[in-house]
Amino acid sequence: MKLSNKVLAMEHSPIRKFNAIAQKANEAGKKVYYLNIGQPDVETPACFMEAIRAFDEKVIAYAESGGVAALQDAISGYFRQYGMEYERENIIVTNGGSEALSMTFISLLNPGDEVLIPEPFYTNYHTFYYANICSIFRIISFRRKTWHINHYCVYLTWGNWNSCICTIYFWPWCITW
């Protein structure tokens, strides 16, 4: 099978490149501290584990294609407590952050678009943009209590050719303008 030029030109994420080295070191008996992407570092809530143990359906069927109403309502209620109103039709639940980001970028970006993105950023952003045949321009950010962007860098970089600024940071690190 011939892969697309987009796929052939993509690079592995630095984390995935480093993983093989970490595994060899681990096999050699060295202590390795894995800083994997997306690994939870908090205990799974007891109520979640109890729900899994209590689950006894014979078939795990697909959810409703429009989404599970109870879950969408719970998400809407969560954001409402912070003064943000979202209707069910504005909420899409995915199986993970990468799927959500891929769907967002596919929905918003066109081939040739250019995106401003503050560093540091999730290593797979580059892959997501490249899959959409987009270019990224990195903006250096700095950290005090939260991450900050130099407004002058945005001003110098922004032009008619840019499509968006991606300011997705991971909690509790947030962007401050």
DSSP string, 87-100: -GGG----SSHHHH
Q: Find all residues with CB under 8 Å of 106, minimum gap 6, and list them.
A: 132
Q: What percent of the chain has pLDDT over 90?
A: 22
Q: What is the pLDDT of residue 49?
A: 94
Q: How far apart are CA 164 and CA 114, in angstroms?
A: 7
Residue that wins the pLDDT comparison between 72 and 145: 72
Going by pLDDT thresholds of 50, 70 and 90, the confidence category of residue 174 is very low
Q: What is the mean pLDDT of residues 6-21?
A: 74
β-pairing, 162-165 vs 114-119, is parallel
What is the identity of the amino acid at 51? A
Tabulate helix, strand, coil % of the chain (nearest 5).
40, 15, 45
SS3 109: coil
What value does the mean pLDDT of the chain take? 78
Rounded average pLDDT over 132-156: 70
Per-residue pLDDT band for 24 (boundaries 50, 70, 90) equals: very high
Pair 135, 129: CB distance under 8 Å: yes
Higher pLDDT, 76 or 32: 76
pLDDT digits (tens, 9 = 90+) for 92-131: 888 877 788 788 888 888 887 877 777 777 777 777 777 7
Q: In what order do the strands lie in the sheet with 175-176?
A: 162-165, 114-119, 135-143, 147-149, 175-176
In three-state secondary structure terms, 1 is coil
Compute the half-sphere exposure of residue 163: CA atoms within 13 Å on the CB side of its CA.
Answer: 16
Which pLDDT belongs to residue 136? 74
| Higher per-residue pLDDT: 26 or 117 | 26
Give the number of other Cβ atoms within 10 Å of residue 153's Cβ: 16
- Name the most confidently modeled range: 10-24, 53-67, 96-110, 139-153: 53-67
3-state secondary structure string across 28-90: CCCCCCCCCCCCCCCCCCHHHHHHHHHCCCCCCCCCCCCCCHHHHHHHHHHHHCCCCCCCHHH
pLDDT of residue 39: 66
pLDDT tens-digit profile of 35-62?
A: 665 666 788 899 999 999 999 999 988 8
